[in-house]
C-alpha cells in the first residue's frame, strides 16, 4: 500500500518519514514535486512465530511505501498545486501529521493541532469540490447532447455528484457518505482525496509521551470517524530510536515507559484505516504475510497470490495462526480437526494460515 504524508510546513512530517523508513529512502526532488519514497517491511510477530515453527527458507513481510512530498500541503496561505494533489490522489491512504511540539521545550509557544487538521481537511475538500465541479460540467454537456433513452447513466451520475457536493458544503468528508456499491464504483476513478482512508498522527513533545493514551482519546473524540484512525507519537524521539539497534531501542522505550513502538503503531493504524486484514502462507519454501481487504474470499486471495492458482482453484485448507502454533504442525492440526477444508466463497479471517490446492 502507498501512504502519502501530508502536513503543514514545520509539522515534522519528514522527521516522521525518516523515523518509519529508518532513513533508508530514495530522495525526491526537493526543488520540485518528486516525493521521497521509503519502503517499509511491516513487523509481524505472528509471522515470526509461525516461521520459527515451520522454518521456511525465505520469509516475506508485507510492505508499505511511504511518500513524503517536499514542503507542506499549504505554503504561506497558498493552495497546494494541481500536480501535488494529483500525486496524492494516487496514494491508497493519507497520513496527516499535525504539530503539537515546541522547538524549545522551555518556551511557552504552543501549536494548535486541531486548527492544522481542520485547515488541511478544508484544503482536501476544496480540491474534491473542484474535481466534482469539472466532472459536473462535462456531464452537463454529455446529457444535453445525448439522445433520449441514452441519458439515464449520466443523469444518475449527475444526481450523485450533486449529493457529494452538498456533503462537502456541509463540511462532511466523502468517506463518511452512505454510498451503494454501484455509487462507489462510479466515483472510484475520480480519486477524491476526502474519500481516501485517513490516519491523523499528532506529533507531540517528548514530555507528553506519558499522556499518549489521553491525547489519543481526546483526538479520536474530535476527529475520529468512518475511514479515519487517530494516533500520537513523538517524531523526534522515534527518529532517534530508529538509529539504535532493536534491542537498544526496546530498552530505551522501557525506560521511558513506552509500551508501543510509534512507527509500528502508525503502520497498524494505516492498515486499520484501509480496512485490511492479514493472512499467511507458510511452507518449506517461503513464509509470507499478505494484506487483503476484509471480506475477501478464498478465491480473491488465491488471485492475489497468483492468477493461475485462482484459475485452477480446487479448495483451500485453513487454520488459525494460534491454533497452528498450539498444535505444533500441520499434521497435528489436521489430526485434531483444526485444519479445515473450505471452498471458493470462504471469507478469509485475520490471522488465517492458508494452503490452497489448485490444478492448471
- In the chain, list all ranges with CATH 3.40.50.300: 1-43+63-274
Tell me the percentage of the chain whose pLDDT exceeds 90. 57
Cell of 57: 527458507
CATH number of 1-43+63-274: 3.40.50.300
Angle among Cα 221, 91, 35 to the nearest 5 degrees reads 110
Question: What is residue 203's predicted lDDT score, i.e. its pLDDT?
Answer: 94
Cell of 146: 445525448
Buried b / exposed e along 22-38 (16+ C-beta atoms within 10 A): eeebeebeeeebebbbb
Q: How many CA atoms lie within 13 A of 23 on its CB side?
A: 8
- In the chain, list all ranges with CATH 3.10.20.30: 295-358
77 pLDDT more than 50: no
**Mean pLDDT across the stretch 118-125?**
92
Q: pLDDT per residue over 20-55, tens digit each?
A: 888 655 555 444 567 788 888 888 999 999 999 999
**Mean pLDDT across the stretch 232-256?**
88
Give the lowest-confidence range in 86-90, 190-194, 347-351. Answer: 86-90
105 pLDDT more than 60: no
Q: pLDDT per residue over 307-332, tens digit each?
A: 999 999 999 999 999 999 999 999 99
Order of all β-strands in the sheet with 198-204: 36-41, 63-68, 2-6, 93-100, 198-204, 228-233
Helix (H) or strand (E) holding 16: helix 13-21
Q: What is the pTM of this model?
A: 0.84
CA distances to 97, 104, 211, 295 from 107, rounded to whole Å, are 22, 5, 20, 50
Class of domain 295-358: alpha beta
245 pLDDT more than 90: no
Give the count of beta carbons closer than 10 Å to the beta carbon of residue 194: 24
DSSP 310-356: HHTEEEEEEEEHHHHHHH-SHHHHHHTT-SEEE-TT-B--TTEEEEE
Amino acid at each position: 500500500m502507498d501512504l502519502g504524508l501530508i502536513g503543514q510546513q514545520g509539522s515534522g512530517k519528514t522527521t516522521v518519514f525518516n523515523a518509519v523508513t529508518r532513513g533508508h529512502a530514495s530522495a525526491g526532488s526537493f526543488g520540485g514535486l518528486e516525493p521521497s519514497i521509503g519502503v517499509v517491511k511491516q513487523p509481524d510477530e505472528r509471522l515470526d512465530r509461525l516461521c520459527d515453527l515451520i522454518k521456511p527458507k525465505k520469509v516475506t513481510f508485507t510492505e508499505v511505501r511511504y511518500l513524503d512530498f517536499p514542503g507542506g500541503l499549504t505554503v504561506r496561505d497558498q493552495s497546494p498545486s494541481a500536480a501535488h494533489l494529483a500525486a496524492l490522489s494516487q496514494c491508497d491512504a493519507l497520513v496527516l501529521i499535525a504539530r503539537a511540539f515546541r522547538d524549545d521545550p522551555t518556551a511557552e509557544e504552543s501549536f494548535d493541532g486541531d486548527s492544522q487538521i481542520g485547515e488541511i481537511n478544508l484544503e482536501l475538500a476544496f480540491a474534491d469540490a473542484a474535481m466534482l465541479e469539472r466532472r459536473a460540467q462535462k456531464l452537463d454537456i454529455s446529457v444535453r447532447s445525448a439522445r433520449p433513452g441514452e441519458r439515464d447513466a449520466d443523469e444518475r451520475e449527475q444526481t450523485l455528484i450533486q449529493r457529494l457536493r452538498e456533503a462537502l458544503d456541509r463540511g462532511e468528508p466523502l468517506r463518511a457518505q452512505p454510498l451503494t456499491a454501484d455509487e462507489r464504483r462510479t466515483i472510484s476513478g475520480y480519486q477524491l482525496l476526502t474519500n481516501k482512508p485517513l490516519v491523523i498522527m499528532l506529533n507531540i513533545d517528548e514530555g507528553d509521551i506519558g499522556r499518549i493514551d489521553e491525547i489519543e482519546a481526546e483526538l479520536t473524540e474530535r476527529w475520529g470517524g468512518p475511514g479515519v484512525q487517530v494516533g500520537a507519537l513523538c517524531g523526534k524521539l522515534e527518529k532517534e530510536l530508529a538509529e539504535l539497534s532493536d534491542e537498544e531501542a526496546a530498552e530505551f522505550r522501557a525506560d521511558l515507559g513506552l509500551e508501543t513502538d510509534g512507527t509500528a503503531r502508525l503502520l497498524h493504524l494505516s492498515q486499520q484505516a484501509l480496512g485490511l486484514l492479514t493472512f499467511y502462507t507458510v511452507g518449506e519454501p517461503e513464509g509470507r504475510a499478505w494484506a487483503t481487504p476484509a471480506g475477501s474470499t478464498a478465491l480473491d486471495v488465491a488471485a492475489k497470490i497468483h492468477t493461475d492458482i485462482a484459475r485452477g482453484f480446487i479448495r483451500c485448507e485453513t487454520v488459525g495462526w494460534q491454533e497452528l502454533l498450539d498444535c505444533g504442525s500441520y499434521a497435528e492440526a489436521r489430526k485434531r480437526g483444526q485444519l479445515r477444508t473450505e471452498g471458493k466463497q470462504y471469507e478469509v479471517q485475520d490471522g488465517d494460515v492458508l494452503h490452497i490446492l489448485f490444478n492448471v
